[in-house]
Amino acid sequence: MWRQCYTHVTIDAICEEAGVKKGSFYHFYKSKTELTIEALDFHWETDIRPKYDDHFSASRTPVERLERWLQHVCSESTEQLAESGRILGCPFCNIGQEIASVEPEVSQKVNDIIQRYMRYLIGTIRDAKLEGLTAIRDAEAVARSIFIYLEGTMSQARIQNSLTPLEGISEVVGRLTGLDLTPCCLLDQKADLTK
């Protein structure tokens, strides 16, 4: 669903990829919607959340948290490009954009997961404010702006199939938060792709 698109992935294709019969699919799931909701939760719990718990650990300074997160975004995009020849973007937002008005249950799950993302950002920005590192007033509004900016940038990277749109993310997030962030190491990663 992430590599292609939600609407083009059939139950037959899912069963073929999983090596199961269609009857087995319907024994466990009533529909593709039900499977998708479970798959999104599974992806969050097993892949995304452990990384975010590490990147946004309270044992790190707010600046370190944001820098690690942004470097992760750049590294993931670079790995996608190297492994599949495509920048895939965020699986949650990609699916959410595609089916927002068609599959309300999936759309609600995507919104739920986005709120989980937001809690990491809001907490980090609030901590930066409490530590006197930034003078921003509304941590939640800034976190929302960062998320929207980053998802838009990821969409551009996906459309262009290029890392170029990601080159200035640290600078922009730094301006939004009032923090001095080290740029992501995209130049080194681009060089690695040409080897």
Q: Which residue did the predictor score with more confidence, 113 or 3?
A: 113
Task: Summarize pLDDT for 135-177 with one digit per residue, the tens.
Answer: 999 999 999 999 999 999 999 999 999 999 999 999 999 999 9
Task: Summarize pLDDT for 44-91 with one digit per residue, the tens.
Answer: 999 999 999 999 999 999 999 999 999 999 999 999 999 989 998 887
Q: Which residue did the predictor score with more confidence, 97 or 114?
A: 114
pLDDT higher than threshold 60 for residue 194: no
The rounded Cα 88 to chain-centroid distance in angstroms is 10
Domains and CATH numbers, the chain: 42-194 (1.10.357.10)
Cα dihedral across residues 20, 21, 23, 29: positive or negative? positive
Is residue 185 very low, low, confident or very high in pLDDT (cuts 50, 70, 90)? low
Predicted local confidence at residue 104, as pLDDT: 87
Question: Residue 90 and residue 138: Cα distance in Å, rounded?
Answer: 26
DSSP string, 74-86: HHHHHHHHHHHSS
The DSSP 8-state label assigned to residue 183 in this structure reads P
Tallying the residues shown for the chain, one arrives at 195
Kindly state the greatest CA–CA separation across the chain: 59
Predicted local confidence at residue 142, as pLDDT: 97
Predicted local confidence at residue 2, as pLDDT: 67
**Residue 74 · residue 185 · CB < 8 Å:** yes
What amino acid is encoded at 39 in this protein? A
**Residue 165 · residue 176 · CB < 8 Å:** no
Predicted local confidence at residue 5, as pLDDT: 76
DSSP string, 140-151: HHHHHHHHHHHH
